[in-house]
């Protein structure tokens, strides 16, 4: 992946590990989540697959709905535990998953993003604290993973 839009950063996932560099599947994330002071030992719920065919369009109704659910109750449920949250973009139009990062274990089985791609819980030192988006969800077509980007 090259020519990243402003506000995006790359993240890799091989099904078991997250990394900023390497050969595994590449996703675009909201750059704020990986470009500040990282939270050591955070819990990352990665709702994505290493399979390159695992993708949906952002316009898919279920992709729209999980973001609404995140705003409605998932983010409030996480409370102060939330470190950051980002969808995983493959390009301007395609969704590859999402990551919710918390400082401590939370009820991952309720993560709405796991309805699309199953979740894997990992410990990670990559992610930084980013305030969750203010609602309502506003669609962006700037090519940056939600909730980042601007119009």
CB 19 to other proteins: min, Å: 29
Residue whose C-alpha is closest to residue 110's, from 61, 76, 62? 76
Tell which positions 115-134 bind other proteins, by CB under 8 A.
131-134
151 is a site residue for other proteins (CB under 8 A): yes
Answer for which of 49, 54, 75, 121 binds other proteins (CB under 8 A) is 75
The reply to whether 71 sits near other proteins by the rule CB under 8 A is yes
Long-range Cβ pairs for the range 57-63 (8 Å, 24+): 57/93, 57/94, 57/95, 58/89, 58/93, 58/94, 58/95, 58/139, 58/146, 59/93, 60/95, 62/115, 62/116, 63/95, 63/116
- From 3, 37, 53, 79, residue interacting with other proteins (rule: CB under 8 A): 79
The residue assigned the tokens 């449920």 is 77
E strands present in 78-143: 82-89, 94-102, 119-124
Q: In the complex with other proteins, which residue's Cβ is closer, 16 or 73? A: 73
Question: From the list 22, 36, 76, 105, which residue makes contact with other proteins (rule: CB under 8 A)?
Answer: 76
The region of 7-15, 44-52, 75-83, 84-92 touching other proteins under the rule CB under 8 A is 75-83
Which of 137, 143, 144, 146 binds other proteins (CB under 8 A)? It is 137
The footprint of other proteins (CB under 8 A) covers 68, 71-73, 75-76, 79-80, 131-139, 150-151
């Amino acid at each position: 992946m090259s020519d990243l839009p402003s506000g995006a950063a790359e993240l890799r996932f091989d099904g078991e590990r997250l990394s900023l560099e390497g050969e595994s599947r590449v996703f675009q994330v909201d750059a704020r989540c990986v470009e500040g002071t990282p939270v050591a030992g955070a819990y990352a719920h990665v709702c994505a697959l290493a399979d390159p065919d695992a993708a949906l369009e952002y316009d898919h109704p279920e992709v729209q709905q999980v973001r609404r659910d995140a705003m409605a109750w998932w983010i409030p449920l996480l409370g102060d535990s939330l470190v950051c949250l980002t969808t995983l973009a493959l390009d301007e139009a395609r969704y590859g998953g999402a990551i919710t990062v918390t400082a401590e274990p939370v009820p991952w089985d309720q993560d709405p993003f796991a309805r699309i791609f199953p979740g894997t819980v990992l410990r990670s030192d990559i992610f930084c604290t980013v305030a969750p988006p203010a609602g309502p969800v506003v669609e962006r077509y700037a090519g940056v993973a939600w909730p980042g980007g601007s119009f």
